[in-house]
Amino acid sequence: MERNFNLDAAAFTGAIDLAQEKLGGKALLASDEFFAEKENLLKPGRGIFIPDKYTSAGKWMDGWETRRKRVPGYDWCIIKLGVPGVINGVDIDTNNFLGNHPPYASLEGICIDKDVKDSVLVESSEWQEILPRAALKQGSQNIFPVASNKRWTHVRLNIYPDGGVARLRVFGEVERNWSDAKPDALHDLAAIENGAAVVAANDMFFGSKDNLIMPGRGVNMGDGWETRRRRGPGNDWVIVRLGHPGLIHKVEVDTCHYKGNYPDVCWMDATYAPGANIDILTWPDFEWSEVLARTKLKADNRHYYDKEIIHGGPWTHIRLNIAPDGGISRLRVHGVLAKQERSPVASGGACAVK
């Protein structure tokens, strides 16, 4: 059955694009990419249009575009997610593809934690449909929910029968497979690739809270968490759900690129509250324990704290406080895993292709 939905991108506010290049997402294989390369699917933004730009193949397009199909069948592209996870929804964006967009599309998923040959991915019988064939609009964001609680590592976008898609966004929640983690090894428990999530922030006027836990160092001042200038009393804060309950051994607060707008001081609190929602965590009387006392920060600098850790935990959430306001590029919370009752992988463990 063909489906269509009236949703917009706001429906997945707070979800992570699991396929984004910034997290290591990669377009691996495509049935055809005659007019425009598959790699464009994962680039930032919605794609641009340059009226008079052409290539030897034809009109230059900022997206993935296949030739006109003259035989039975359909086109497809296999994408390795930057981080494995549970998919909540997708955006199949046909921006700037007007007379050449696919009328329909569907999505399949597979879970495989090891590297395999391209032929194994293409021919595997383990692919499962996660979005049934759905109608697409031209030049539009086509937003669809996904009703699946399984963990996926790759997706296959199918278009019927051919045409162009500007961008593919795969919204969801990161699920790290911890089965191979050594119990005494240090992990960045606040890293997005380890399943951490920034669940709340009191302000992010100049920079998104999610930037705090992204891989690498910030590329510029826009690639961090930055609040507006505070004109009254109080302080700013952000709450991170750790990717796994853990005992904190070391904290890094990086003010990279923030020079005239870094916070004067910071401090950190933590709590052990598995499954706690935002309403509970932000309740004024909710109890937090001190992990790092108020400490001065420097401009454009990496600050490391280990001996300063007051109470290592175990914790499930941390709250980074800054005063009076300003920008933090990255936050790292290194620690060892604590025992927990629930399985760390929603699907029950690692995945493999048979």
Dump pLDDT digits (tens) for 111-169: 998 888 888 899 999 999 999 999 999 999 999 999 889 999 999 999 999 999 999 99
| Residue 167 confidence (pLDDT) | 98
For residue 354, name the pLDDT band (cuts at 50, 70, 90). very low
pTM for this model (two decimals)? 0.86
In 3D space, the residue among 45, 277, 43, 17 whose CA is nearest the CA of residue 172 turns out to be 17
Q: Is the pLDDT of residue 66 over 90?
A: yes
Give CA–CA dist 170/304, Å, rounded.
Answer: 34
Asked whether the predicted pLDDT for residue 99 surpasses 60, the reply is: yes
Q: Give the least confident one: 11-20, 225-234, 323-332.
A: 11-20
- % the chain with pLDDT above 70: 92
Q: Cα–Cα distances in Å, from 112 out to 146, 195, 291?
A: 19, 17, 37
Give the pLDDT score at 341: 47
- Mean pLDDT calculated for residue range 323-339: 96
Cis link prior to 314 (omega < 30° from 0)? yes
Mean pLDDT of the chain: 92
pLDDT at 115: 85
d(CA 176, CA 335): 16
Judged by average pLDDT, the poorest of 2-6, 186-190, 200-204 is 2-6
pLDDT of residue 345: 37
Average pLDDT over residues 31-50: 96
Q: Which domains does the chain have, with CATH numbers?
A: 9-174 (2.60.120.260), 187-337 (2.60.120.260)
- Nearest CA to 65 among 111, 99, 113? 99
Beta carbons of 212 and 241 less than 8 angstroms apart: no
Any residues with CB less than 8 A from the CB of 55 and at least 6 apart, and which?
A: none
Question: What's the N-to-C CA distance of the chain in angstroms?
Answer: 29
Contact yes or no for 160/105 (Cβ under 8 A): yes
pLDDT of residue 39: 98
What pLDDT does residue 353 have?
43
